Amino acid sequence: MIMQEIIKLNAKNLPLLPKEVAIPAYDRSKIKTGIVHIGIGGFHRAHQAFYTDQLLHNPDATDWGICGIALLDTDRKIIDTLIQQDGLYTVMITESDGTLTARVIGSIIGYLFAPENPEAVLEKMADPAVKVITLTITEGGYNFNSATGEFQMEEPSIQKDLNNPEKPGTVFGCITQALKRRRDRGIDGLTIQSCDNIQHNGDVLQRMLLAYVKEAEPGMIDWIKREIAFPNSMVDRITPVTTPSDIAKLTAVFGIEDAWPVVCEPFIQWVIQDNYANGRPAWESVGAKLVTDVGPYEKMKIRLLNAGHSLLGFLGSLYGCSTIDETVKIPLFGNFLRNFMDHEVTPVLGKYDDLPVEDYKDSLIQRFGNPNIKDQLSRICLESSAKIPKFVLPTLKEQLEKGGEIKRSTMILAAWCRYLELAGTPGHHYEIQDTMRVVLQEHAIASFGRDPLAFLKIETIFGDLVHSKRFVATYLPLIDALRKQGVETTIRDLDQIVS
């Protein structure tokens, strides 16, 4: 056997990589920064940076390189990796049949660590050549109260930015100050594009930003309304957390030493509202769909895929599974998911001629079942306090209004509560990673003890749901059944437990 030489990933070594690995075939030194991206985690690198890398192969697109911004203290490692690798990293695509493809992505040509150098971040966003700021700041990053939709001004990080405008640490503080510099210097506005899983993500971003600006720089409101566009968009590609064994696999199969590659599924989708302020990359030339109304697409995706993930995340964890593929292949859970999609989500999606709902549901079962993706339930369940109000509660509320079925959406909430209560007890070795962890666990524990409704009384998550008689009458027997019989029997007997 010939030992493959191991090549460290960086610009100088690109020509040495094996031929089966696709590399940027454009001259990266000629690319200028036209996009600033905030939040350069795995998803951005598997999705928007992946599309943009393909775009940069077009000789007319040299103005659209990305400068990646890491905003959080905990993001140091990704910046260090990008520095060491000249911004290059590998996307390793894993198909269901085990086929692996590797592609080195070259679209991230700059990287800044905001906690260390906020000034450079503001200047980059104020650069006239920058026309688009994209964001993946997670569902919780938009800082609104899930029950009221109001911006949470009292958050300590927001208060800090209001008191130190020149050294902002939050996305709202940074954007506001950068926009102020643009306005003061007579530079055109730009587009700020959310790429997070929130319905009407652009509208939400605009509303939250304006709420902050009203407090921080009220004189900027009119300029922002006039000069800045906030397109809505739907983003999709399952991207698990990269594990040490993924890194080892990349080296073993392709001979690449990459400190932080991204692993993802082959499926990729991006549907964007064509609403830009000052020019945009021709992402449609590399597969994105530009439309006038993204609403039906984002609703379909978030309510089916993301909610489906949460459903499997809680049920699978309670049952003792650790990945999505393992959970969805258990017929009891796979069927429960399909019934949830058919009987509770599909009725609220509305009818649109070109929306392929049935095909999408079929493809989801396939995608979730990809045995080579190993999407950890721990990733799915983290920050559920920000996810469930966007992924599951709207479906439940719409079904309640219509008098439709709610037992499976309700089961997701009951399972979430049980999952929180059991975390860390023998046989339940998962940890709760959630900014609301303490409150969530306190209320969940009380729900299985003195007050079965305690969990639902977390108003910032559930609003007034606890006052719905029909919902409570569905929820309580499920909590009881989960405690007495466990998750498997509760799902199996669902129809008898709640008729």
Q: Which of 285, 267, 268, 265 is nearest to 64 (CA)?
A: 285
Smaller CB separation from ligand CS2, 378 or 460: 378
Characterize 317-334 residue by residue with b for buried, 16 or more Cβ atoms within 10 angstroms of its Cβ, and e for exposed: bbbebebbbbbbebeebb
Does position 306 interact with ligand CS2 (CB under 6 A)? The reply is yes
Sequence length of the chain is 499
Distance CA 357, CA 362 (A): 9
Q: Residue 376: exposed, middle, or buried by beta-carbon count in 10 A (0-12, 13-18, 19+)?
A: middle
Does position 197 interact with ligand CS2 (CB under 6 A)? The reply is yes
Window of 13-21, 114-122, 236-244, 396-404 that interacts with ligand CS2 by CB under 6 A: 236-244
Q: Are 272 and 285 in contact (CB under 8 A)?
A: no
Does position 237 interact with ligand CS2 (CB under 6 A)? The reply is yes
Q: Residue 50: exposed, middle, or buried by beta-carbon count in 10 A (0-12, 13-18, 19+)?
A: buried
Does position 344 interact with ligand CS2 (CB under 6 A)? The reply is no
CB of 389 to ligand CS2, least distance (A): 13
Rg (CA), the chain: 23
Window of 91-99, 170-178, 231-239, 288-296 that interacts with ligand CS2 by CB under 6 A: 231-239
Q: Which residues pair with 67 in a beta bridge?
A: 36, 110
CB of 196 to ligand CS2, least distance (A): 9
CB of 344 to ligand CS2, least distance (A): 17
Does position 246 interact with ligand CS2 (CB under 6 A)? The reply is no
Residue 376: DSSP 8-state:
B
Binds ligand CS2 (CB under 6 A): choice among 180, 361, 387, 443:
387
Binding mask 254-293 for ligand CS2 (x = CB under 6 A): ----------------------------------------
Smaller CB separation from ligand CS2, 231 or 240: 240
Smaller CB separation from ligand CS2, 17 or 92: 92
Q: For 105, phi and psi rounded to 5 degrees?
A: -100, 130
Smaller CB separation from ligand CS2, 53 or 139: 139
Q: Which of 397, 405, 423, 366 is nearest to 499 (CA)?
A: 405
3-state helix, strand, coil in the chain (%, to 5): 50, 15, 35
Binds ligand CS2 (CB under 6 A): choice among 380, 417, 461, 465:
380
Binds ligand CS2 (CB under 6 A): choice among 178, 238, 349, 417:
238
Smaller CB separation from ligand CS2, 82 or 386: 386
Give me the residues that bind ligand CS2 (CB under 6 A), please: 197, 236-238, 305-306, 309, 380, 387
